[in-house]
């Protein structure tokens, strides 16, 4: 008789959860018998109820769990709880409660914890990931990762990599800078520092590096994020920084930029960044030249 194992998570998290789940069951003596993109319940149960001479503990995997449809009542009595001889490993983006009915409570749901949306909440989440890997992650290092990397699975991968490389089981800002930042990433951070200080010469130097090593859309997104935080801080003070859940470091930078540029210029700047980003994504932008002209114009006004 089969047991159901459910992985309900976004597409980006599915490969990691799949690998972890299969590894856990392989250690229990299971073997992957078949992996199907789509399937039907009758075919799955026919396979499950047919004895195998070679693999007594088998896994049948279905990538698109919604393709199975509603589980017919005639098959519900065959579903077991726990480690049955046959496992149906079923993937979906959302839990299949409607499709499985009361059998959903019998199934084993693989745990998935989504990363928090807000940067300041991601700092603690990243520190918990590091502790689970057996090391500590400095708050400043976590804030740097949260600012630079948005993708949840990439963040998990970076923490895992840093945990394996960290001496004394401690991850610092210096290690994040040396191990997680390529030249393009360092160029973006240097550009953000120059923008915060309205340092035109440093901004031009950083842009020259980025033209060779970086990508425009991520650089635009990073500047937009920094300017957006500063605009909220300029308009609403610390309440504005809190409203968009900035990290301590981001709040400090937002306050400095709010004083340097002021609310009106920051609002205009934010609007132009949105326009630039839209133009680039639609294929009608000016490339790096467009970003450079905007930054120099805004910083020159602030300096003047």
**What are the φ/ψ torsions at residue 14 (nearest 5 degrees)?**
-60, -45
**pLDDT, greater one: 276 or 180:** 276
What is the rounded (10 degree) CA torsion for 300, 301, 303, 304? 110
Task: Name the pTM for this structure.
Answer: 0.68
Helix, strand and coil percent figures for the chain, each rounded to 5: 65, 10, 25
Domain(s) of CATH 3.40.50.300: residues in the chain? 2-109
> Quick one: pLDDT at residue 153?
93
Total count of residues recorded for the chain: 304
Q: Give the closest residue to 146 by CA, choosing from 13, 232, 137, 75.
A: 137
Q: Give the closest residue to 112 by CA, choosing from 4, 208, 21.
A: 21
Quote the CA–CA distance of 91 and 66 in Å, as a whole number.
Answer: 8
Contact 89, 21 (CB under 8 A): yes
Q: Is the pLDDT of residue 140 over 80?
A: yes
Domain(s) of CATH 1.20.272.10: residues in the chain? 183-303
* Helical H segments across 166-247, by residue range: 173-179, 183-197, 200-213, 216-236, 238-243
Contact 89, 80 (CB under 8 A): no
pLDDT band of residue 53 (cuts 50, 70, 90) is low
Mean pLDDT for 11-19 is: 95
Mean pLDDT for 234-243 is: 86
Joined tokens for residue 212: 């060779």
Quote the CA–CA distance of 199 and 302 in Å, as a whole number.
Answer: 10
> Quick one: pLDDT at residue 212?
85
Quote the CA–CA distance of 133 and 130 in Å, as a whole number.
Answer: 5
**pLDDT, greater one: 245 or 130:** 130
Helix (H, G, I), strand (E, B) or coil at 286: coil
> Quick one: pLDDT at residue 167?
79
Q: Is the pLDDT of residue 210 over 70?
A: yes
> Quick one: pLDDT at residue 97?
95
Mean pLDDT for 90-110 is: 95
> Quick one: pLDDT at residue 17?
96
What is the percent of the chain with per-residue pLDDT over 90, rounded to a whole number? 61
Joined tokens for residue 50: 């047919």
> Quick one: pLDDT at residue 122?
93
Quote the CA–CA distance of 183 and 214 in Å, as a whole number.
Answer: 7
* 2-109 maps to CATH 3.40.50.300: yes
Radius of gyration of the chain (CA): 25
Domain(s) of CATH 1.10.8.60: residues in the chain? 119-179
Mean pLDDT of the chain: 90
Q: What is the pLDDT of residues 105-119, one digit of tens each?
A: 999 999 998 999 888
**48-57, 134-143, 189-198, 249-258: range with lowest mean pLDDT:** 48-57
CATH topology of domain 183-303: Zinc Finger, Delta Prime; domain 3 (1.20.272)
CATH topology of domain 119-179: Helicase, Ruva Protein; domain 3 (1.10.8)
Mean pLDDT for 156-169 is: 88
Quote the CA–CA distance of 156 and 135 in Å, as a whole number.
Answer: 14
pLDDT band of residue 304 (cuts 50, 70, 90) is low
Which H or E element spans position 27? none
**What are the φ/ψ torsions at residue 2 (nearest 5 degrees)?**
-90, 155
> Quick one: pLDDT at residue 135?
93
In the numeric block, the tokens 């290690």 are attached to: 175
> Quick one: pLDDT at residue 172?
92
> Quick one: pLDDT at residue 183?
72
What is the percent of the chain with per-residue pLDDT over 70, rounded to a whole number? 98
Mean pLDDT for 167-183 is: 83
């Amino acid at each position: 008789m089969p047991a159901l194992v459910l992985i309900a998570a976004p597409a980006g998290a599915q490969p990691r959860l799949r690998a972890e789940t299969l590894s856990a069951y392989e250690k229990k003596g299971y073997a992957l018998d078949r992996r199907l993109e789509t399937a039907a319940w009758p075919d799955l149960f026919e396979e499950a109820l047919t004895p195998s001479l070679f693999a007594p503990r088998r896994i049948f995997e279905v990538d698109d769990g919604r393709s199975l449809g509603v589980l017919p009542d005639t098959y519900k009595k065959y579903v077991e709880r726990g480690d049955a001889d046959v496992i149906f490993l079923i993937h979906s983006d959302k839990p299949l409660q409607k499709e499985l009915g009361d059998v959903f409570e019998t199934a084993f749901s693989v745990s998935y914890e989504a990363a928090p949306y807000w940067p300041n909440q991601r700092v603690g989440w990243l520190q918990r990931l590091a502790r689970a890997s057996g090391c500590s992650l400095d708050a400043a290092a976590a804030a740097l990762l949260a600012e630079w990397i948005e993708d949840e699975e990439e963040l998990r991968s970076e923490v895992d990599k840093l945990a394996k490389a960290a001496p004394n089981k401690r991850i610092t800002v210096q290690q994040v800078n040396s191990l997680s930042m390529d030249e393009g990433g360092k160029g973006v951070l240097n550009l953000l520092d120059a923008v915060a200080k309205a340092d035109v010469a440093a901004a031009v130097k950083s842009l020259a590096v980025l033209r060779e090593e970086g990508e425009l859309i991520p650089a635009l997104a990073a500047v937009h994020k920094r300017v957006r935080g500063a605009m909220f801080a300029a308009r609403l003070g610390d309440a504005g920084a809190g409203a968009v859940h900035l990290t301590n470091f981001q709040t400090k930078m937002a306050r400095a930029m709010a004083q340097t540029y002021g609310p009106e210029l920051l609002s205009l700047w934010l609007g132009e960044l949105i326009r630039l980003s839209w133009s680039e994504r639609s294929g009608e932008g000016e490339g790096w030249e467009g970003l450079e002209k905007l930054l120099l114009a805004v910083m020159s006004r602030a300096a003047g």
